[in-house]
Structure 1
Amino acid sequence: MASTYSFDIVSDFDRQELVNAVDQTVREIKSRYDLKDTQTTVELGEEAININTDSEFTLDAVHTILTTKAAKRNLSLKIFDYGKSESAGGNRVRQEIKLRKGISSEIAKQISKLIRDEFKKLQASIQGDTVRVSAKSKDDLQLVIQRLKQEDYPVALQFTNYR
């Protein structure tokens, strides 16, 4: 039996589920009557999604479709960082949606401070873009997970490597 237990707090998403959500979005755009002739493109890159369409109205419709498909695939909507929409020549509109991955040092400091203030027996250490929490009791770790789920951070949090 281990003397200490730990888990990692990370901010990540399932890349394959995102690929599936974008593919479903493209299929729905091609089949919807109001979007069929807009020549809308949705391209998934390594760190961003690029949308190119003919108006702000269709851009909003594409956002709605994308967020709906992502939510149905259990992807947090906090992974999307919407950039400004800009004109792209020929009365077209382009927008880049960056994909958030990893916990920034600012948020990691907030999380570790919350753990230190509310749970005296636990240790939280920042390791790059993850936060490792360790304790002598698994029950204490469960309490930390429940407490962090109550907070509303600007990134999606997952709890991994529970040992």
Structure 2
Amino acid sequence: MPSFDIVSEVDKHQLTNAVDQVNRTVTNRFDFKGVDAEVEMSDFSLIVRAEADIQVDQMVDMLRSALVKCDIDPLAMDVGEAEQSGKQVKTTITLKNGLDKELSKKIVKLIKDEKLKVQAAIQGEQVRVTGKKRDDLQQVIALLRAKALEQPLQFNNFRD
């Protein structure tokens, strides 16, 4: 029976590449000369540090464009508020990795409301969709791509 998994994952290697690219850009840009500014990464959270609010905002925009170049959807970013600490301004960015229970339930409800001949089951941080026909599964993928959800989705492990 054909099936596939709906997941929301961020490739850590591509994320590291994007952060390195932003840090290189900051060291080379004229408006950041002599400014102590950088992006630090730990697991799936990033800390953007600079000396002014506007510089932090510019660095977040640079990070967004670097993520797009590295095939990571910027919807995965959850940007926190900028906070002053000493001479520097910091903001924390968390990247959404994995589906939480509420979003999984919402996805299952969307699939069931369409009355397609498929079954959707929540399995941890992913949703498995099974059906008798490959075409039904492709309709589910098209349905979820058309919906504007708050998190980017990937469809993998497609078995026939």
TM-score, scaled relative to structure 1 = 0.95
Alignment equivalent of 1:14, drawn from 3, 11, 14: 11
The 8 Å contact of residues 78 and 96 in structure 2, kept in 1 or not, is answered as: yes
Which has the larger strand fraction? Answer: 2
Matched, 1:80 2:101: no
Q: Equivalent residue for 2:123?
A: 127
Kindly indicate whether the alpha-carbon contact (under 8 Å) linking 2:116 and 2:136 is maintained by their aligned counterparts in 1.
no
In 2: Cα distance, 1:120 partner to 1:27 partner:
49
Report sequence identity in percent: 38
Query: Hey, what does 1:42 align to over in structure 2?
Result: 39
SS of match in other structure, 1:161: strand
SS in structure 1 of the partner of residue 90 of structure 2: strand
Question: What is the number of residues matched between the two proteins?
Answer: 159
Match of 1:137 among 133, 141, 148: 133
Structure 2 equivalent of residue 109 of structure 1: 105
Q: Secondary structure at 2:103's aligned position in 1? A: helix
Distance 2:93 2:70 in 1: 18
SS at match of 1:103: coil
- For residue 56 of structure 1, the aligned residue among 33, 38, 53 is 53
Q: Which of 142, 147, 157 is equivalent to 2:143?
A: 147
Name the CA distance, whole Å, in 2 between partners of 1:47 and 1:114.
28
Name the CA distance, whole Å, in 2 between partners of 1:8 and 1:38: 45
User: Post-superposition shift, 1:120?
Assistant: 3.5
**In structure 1, C-alpha distance between the alignment counterparts of 2:116 and 2:18, rounded to whole Å:** 42
Give, in whole Å, the separation in 1 of the partners of 2:89 and 2:137: 47
Report the counterpart of residue 29 of structure 1 in structure 2. Answer: 26
Distance 2:20 2:146 in 1: 32
| Equivalent position amino acid for 2:31 in 1 | D
List 4+ stretches of structure 1 deviating above 3 A: none
Unaligned runs of 5+ in 2: none
Q: CA RMSD in A?
A: 0.9
**CA-to-aligned-CA distance 1:104-143 (integer Å, 9 cap, x gap):** 1111111101111113311000111100000000111011
Residues of 2 paired with 1:68 and 1:156: CA distance?
16
- What is the deviation of 1:84? 1.2
Q: Residues 126-163 of structure 1: CA distance to partner in whole angstroms, max 9, x if unpaired?
A: 11110000000011101110110001111110001100
d(CA) in 2 for partners of 1:40, 1:153: 33
Which TM-score applies when normalising by structure 2? 0.96
